[in-house]
Amino acid sequence: MNANLLNSAQTPHILVLGMGGTIAGLAANPEIKPLDYQSGQLGVENLLGHIAQAVPEGLTLLSTQITNLDSRNLAESHLALLGRAVREALASPMVLGIVVTHGTDTMEETGAFLQFACGKHAQNLGKRVILTGAMLPANVLGADGPSNLLDAIRWAASPIDNCPGGIFAVMAGRACMALDLAKRHTTALNALVKDSPSSSAGLINPSWLSGVKAVEAAWLEDLPIPDEGDWPWVEILTSHTGARPETIRHWMDSEVDGLVLAGTGMGGLHKVWEESLGLAAAQGIALVRTSRAGSGEMAAEGNILATGHLSAPRARIALQLALNAAKQAKIIGKPLTWQDFFARIADLPKIQ
């Protein structure tokens, strides 16, 4: 935490954590090439300075910079730093809520990580953690970062009666559970958050709120955050026309801990993978199956654990945390497997 935060620890405030991304990006020639830009160029304090006049009266904002990167370049070590900062801030009685500025490319993974590692903490403490970002860099005409950041701050600070504590996201005037984030378009301003309640916090669809409460009721315990160097190695493989068994065999010769298999349609995997996957499982490689379709339910098929409605990027984070949780459980003598922990995530209800 930076000195600004430490020196103001006794002031009730919204904490804004900066991770970088397009919201902190600058275009070299904003008028002619607005999408030719460098992410992570502005610090989070600079972002807050742009909206200072619009912040609700009486609301104190403090900030700290976790990292400042294009989110496609984030590593697990950055997630661990963010997760520990969020847990520490949630525990402070002076922190009313948390906003995380983040790049949109991998906000999906970070949203899932924060739900699995910090969601119960936030719910129990009645505080909201809000992810937000931008699709346009900060210095172009019509930049969406300032309005998204302001919406996120307002949502984080709104009365708990409007919506329970938890991990959420705000983009383009809409809000959702961070677990439901997915980048569905390369350039649209509403690329990540669709068909969800207004981020004004006063206009909440009762059916959506019921779905949020169902997910939170089913999420009983946060998973431990792996130490640096202890994150399991998990890769994503996609089944497709012309798939080859060598694709699986290649990873059997590595030190990979798990594979997320993105199947076709309802999660189907190419027949030529069957024998190699059986050998990989026997070798101890953790296997889970999702669909490359992007949405919808998966059919039960074979003995490879299904991921429920998790996309491949979210399933990868879930498998990493499940493998680490099983390792920690073994150390303290609890008879729990990675399948036990992963099933808790895969069985979470989907918000309709």
Residues 56 and 145: their CA atoms lie apart, in Å, by 17
In this prediction, residue 297 carries a pLDDT of 76
In this prediction, residue 203 carries a pLDDT of 57
Q: Nearest-CA neighbor of 2 among 80, 94, 67, 93?
A: 67
Instruction: Return phi, psi of residue 34, to 5°.
Output: -65, -25
- In the chain the first and final C-alpha atoms are separated, in Å, by 38
Q: pLDDT tens, 188-224?
A: 888 888 767 766 555 577 888 888 999 999 999 999 9
In this prediction, residue 3 carries a pLDDT of 37
In this prediction, residue 5 carries a pLDDT of 42
In this prediction, residue 161 carries a pLDDT of 79
Question: What is the amino acid identity at position 263?
Answer: G
Question: What is the amino acid identity at position 89?
Answer: A
In this prediction, residue 352 carries a pLDDT of 62
Contact between residue 246 and residue 280 where contact means Cβ atoms under 8 Å apart: no
Residues 6+ away with beta carbon under 8 Å from 153:
14, 16, 51, 55, 56, 59, 61, 99, 130
Q: Is residue 191 classed as helix, strand or coil in its secondary structure?
A: coil
Q: In the 8-state DSSP scheme, what is residue 11?
A: S
pLDDT in tens, the chain (352 residues): 343 444 455 789 999 999 999 999 999 999 899 889 999 999 999 999 999 999 988 899 999 999 999 999 999 999 999 999 999 999 999 999 999 999 999 999 999 999 999 999 999 999 999 999 999 999 999 999 999 999 999 999 988 877 899 999 999 998 899 999 988 899 888 888 876 776 655 557 788 888 899 999 999 999 999 998 899 999 999 999 999 999 999 999 999 999 999 999 989 999 999 999 999 999 999 999 999 987 877 776 778 999 988 999 999 999 999 999 999 999 999 999 999 999 999 999 987 6
Domains in the chain: ranges and CATH: 3-218 (3.40.50.1170), 234-346 (3.40.50.40)
CA 189 and chain centroid, separation: 18
Q: How many helices (H) and strands (E) are present in the chain, helices listed first?
A: 10, 12
In this prediction, residue 9 carries a pLDDT of 59
Q: pLDDT tens, 277-322?
A: 999 999 999 999 999 987 877 776 778 999 988 999 999 999 999 9
In this prediction, residue 195 carries a pLDDT of 65
Residue 297 is encoded by which pair of tokens?
């339910």
Residue 13 is encoded by which pair of tokens?
């405030």
Residues 6+ away with beta carbon under 8 Å from 58:
none
pTM confidence score: 0.94
